[in-house]
């Protein structure tokens, strides 16, 4: 699947668009130094080209993503009928000075408002500015996208021959 094909899926299905526009907590899966899988919750922002996330530069995930940038990201609903958006790709990242967060990483304050509301985001961002000198902007360029909408289709495991996930 090309990036263009993946992006087309992310932009064409109204249910996918709704999942990306809501403030879901996504699950980022990556591989630790010893080869074991790790999964962490992440705030996300879809900018039409890539999924944008943020993290402290000294967080454990940032210590391994430079060497192991292949990741999977799930965005899903918690109630039946489930909707599951599974994205695979490679992340790139850059450290951004905290004092330029609004200009150099505008998605992050927008994410904070989306997840915490106006008052909560102001408190969170103020604490972030007092604690950190830099923040990491993580970009996931979708290379593979799969959407399971249990309202309209069942996953391949429910078909007679199954299929790859």
Tell me the backbone φ, ψ of residue 158, rounded to 5 degrees.
-90, -5
pLDDT of residue 137: 96
**Relative orientation angle of helices 14-21 and 3-12, to the nearest 10 degrees:** 90
Average pLDDT over the chain, rounded to whole?
86
pLDDT tens-digit map of 105-130: 989 998 999 889 999 999 999 999 99
pLDDT tens-digit map of 12-37: 777 777 777 776 679 999 999 999 99
**124: how many CB neighbours lie within 10 A of its CB?**
15
Q: Which domains does the chain have, with CATH numbers?
A: 3-93+135-148 (2.30.110.10)
Q: How far apart are the first and last CA of the chain?
A: 14
**Strands across the sheet with 45-46, in order?**
37-42, 26-31, 70-76, 83-97, 134-149, 51-55, 45-46
Give the residue with greater pLDDT, 79 vs 64: 64
Structure tokens at 159: 């078909």
Structure tokens at 95: 């450290």
Q: Are strands 134-149 and 51-55 parallel, antiparallel or unpaired?
A: antiparallel
Query: What is the band of 155 on the pLDDT scale with cuts at 50, 70, 90?
Result: low
DSSP H helices in the chain: 3-12, 14-21, 60-65, 101-104, 107-131
């Amino acid at each position: 699947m090309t990036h263009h094909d993946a992006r087309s899926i992310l932009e064409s299905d109204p249910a996918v668009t709704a999942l990306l526009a809501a403030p879901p907590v996504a699950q980022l899966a990556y591989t630790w130094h010893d080869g074991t899988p790790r999964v962490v919750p992440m705030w996300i922002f879809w900018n039409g080209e890539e999924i944008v996330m943020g993290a402290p530069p000294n967080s454990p995930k940032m210590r391994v993503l430079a060497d192991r940038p292949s990741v999977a990201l799930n965005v899903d609903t918690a109630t039946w009928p489930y909707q599951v958006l599974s994205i695979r790709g490679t992340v790139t990242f850059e450290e951004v000075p905290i004092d330029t967060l609004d200009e150099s990483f505008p998605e992050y304050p927008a994410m904070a408002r989306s997840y915490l509301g106006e008052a909560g985001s102001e408190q969170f961002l103020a604490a972030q500015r007092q604690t950190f000198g830099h923040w990491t902007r993580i970009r996931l360029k979708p290379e593979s996208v799969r959407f399971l909408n249990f309202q309209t289709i069942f996953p391949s495991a429910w078909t007679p021959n199954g299929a790859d996930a």
